[in-house]
Structure 1
């Protein structure tokens, strides 16, 4: 009996490890721009027709983090491609707009390679958590940054996407608005000033109007969202105020609710899922509606 029990436990463990096995990229460290961190990994589905693509932008406060090097198999694996990108960071000696420029360039590069990689350029869905979510929402809300007169064929491509699936993302980095709507604990987080070259939060607030306001707002979704923007599905744990600590504050549900408030006013579609707030559509249905062609 003991041997049978041990064997049963062994095979259960083996099955769980197999279930957790990750998949290596089809293409790894593909260079998409001039920066040393302008790299992407791709998991491409073998297909005869163009498929949608889920583009993952990693988090880390624009200070750290890296692209995914392995992927968990999932139910959508045979229905759309997956790409994960890395980009410049504070830890690599950069500040904005380096992060924003690279993420926009990544979308242009994907569209430039769409035919070769059998990607449907009308079905690009951005996703990410924290800073990756902030970048996803910013890109989804921003007007097209294509330069039709550029000598660079990649720069001539559109930066527009079909939607964003964002988790715990920041829709504004305005310290005064954040303190008023979310609470002072959030201001202790370095994401508010480090990506903009600020010394600390006190210096940022002191020079907000003269130096940082336009700079910071330029890279947040709340400043750009308009009626013609694609839908966004935002997820957060809760929107309880005031924020308990910097980590709670910087990923606070009020960021999503503020974006939804403005979206409702201008006629854009933003869904927010967090404690006390249930969106009109399920997350899986949102993803399917964008990535999977009926």
Structure 2
């Protein structure tokens, strides 16, 4: 088989015409009739039959081929890049505007990295999928914890500030402020949940117009998210040494297990404020959760931090959200990360946006 590679962000795609040539030998020399060739294509690619009438036209083949090709360059680069939303050098975001005559829903991507690393760079194909669904996309950076001046929940507050900034630009960027979702993995998941569950941080009387905007969102998506960043609760919930993750210590400026597990009243207050589940109330948005880390008890020789994406975090959320009557979806894929579908999360956001009046 001859492969024609189109390189973009590490993606290699097989052009549909190559598949057609292999699947239907004789296409080029026209031995089979046109109808026979189309019938063979229909059996190979039933989704190409757009109107589902059981007959495939050349126009349907052409449209199907175009959809299978790589995203256009327009979705590879942000419409607005590295826009400042706060004072710190990492308070920047990228915005990918969907083409629409009416205001679009907004999905905000928040990267993971243990609050000490990571990037807002997005997969162009994922951006294109959201654009195809009529949604604009933003991706943010936030302050990293340093164990001294920047502790939790400062990254969470940066995420909330980004939501406010984006809402302050709804007219310029054609955003529907009533339809906003946040999602991310690991630390980005924790920030997304914190924004979604926390009481509104809007300050109507602030001299800063951004601070007057609401931080409330309509949907949340997470991948390997932590319901709590309280090391005492993590130890009880997950076991092993997950609570000894280096970022947990750095997040609160502690250096020993003794300090972490015996917090002062002020430190416990910081634990509670930084943990999303602490803020969960019955009026909070629906949540779509994906977990893929190994399930069950952690091994006796577990490393410090092992289990920090354990599905027990999600089960803890399911239990409390069910008690409060909040819609939630828990997806456990085991070690098969490919079982977690970004498209399913996108469709979940669509469902939640459709409820907004």
TM-score (norm 1): 0.87
Q: Distance in 1 between matches of 2:140 and 2:237?
A: 32
Greater Cα shift, 48-57 or 88-97: 88-97
Structure 2 equivalent of residue 112 of structure 1:
168
Distance 1:219 1:135, change over 3 A: same
Alpha-carbon displacement from aligned partner over 1:122-163 (angstroms, at most 9, x marks no partner) = 111101000000000111011111011111111011000011
Q: Distance in 2 between matches of 1:48 and 1:56?
A: 23
Establish whether residue 220 from structure 1 lines up as the match of residue 275 from structure 2.
Answer: yes
Taking the TM superposition and a 5 Å limit, the aligned residue runs for 1:63-142 are 63-68=116-121, 71-72=124-125, 73-78=127-132, 79-90=134-145, 94-142=150-198
Q: Distance in 1 between matches of 2:84 and 2:221?
A: 24
Distance 1:46 1:293, change over 3 A: farther
Q: Does structure 1 conserve the Cα–Cα contact (< 8 Å) formed by 2:290 and 2:333?
A: no
Q: Does structure 2 conserve the Cα–Cα contact (< 8 Å) formed by 1:25 and 1:70?
A: no
Q: Does structure 2 conserve the Cα–Cα contact (< 8 Å) formed by 1:243 and 1:252?
A: no
Greater Cα shift, 149-158 or 238-247: 238-247
Distance 1:95 1:54, change over 3 A: same
Of the two structures, which has the highest relative contact order with CA contacts closer than 8 Å and spacing of 6 or more? 1
Taking the TM superposition and a 5 Å limit, the aligned residue runs for 1:1-294 are 8-9=2-3, 11-12=4-5, 16=12, 19=70, 23-68=76-121, 71-72=124-125, 73-78=127-132, 79-90=134-145, 94-206=150-262, 208-238=263-293, 240-244=295-299, 245=302, 246=304, 248-275=306-333, 283-291=345-353
- Partner SS state of residue 250, structure 1: coil
Unaligned runs of 5+ in 1: none
Q: Distance in 1 between matches of 2:213 and 2:5?
A: 50
RMSD in angstroms over aligned alpha carbons?
Answer: 2.6
Q: Does structure 2 conserve the Cα–Cα contact (< 8 Å) formed by 1:53 and 1:291?
A: no
Q: Using the TM superposition, give the Cα deviation of residue 292 of structure 1 relative to its aligned residue in structure 2, in angstroms.
A: 6.5
- Partner SS state of residue 218, structure 1: helix
Equivalenced residues, count: 282
Q: Using the TM superposition, give the Cα deviation of residue 258 of structure 1 relative to its aligned residue in structure 2, in angstroms.
A: 0.5
Alpha-carbon displacement from aligned partner over 1:78-132 (angstroms, at most 9, x marks no partner) = 3111100001002596222321221111000011101110001111110100000
Q: Does structure 2 conserve the Cα–Cα contact (< 8 Å) formed by 1:59 and 1:65?
A: yes
- Partner SS state of residue 235, structure 1: strand
Unaligned runs of 5+ in 2: 14-68
Q: Distance in 2 between matches of 1:191 and 1:52?
A: 33
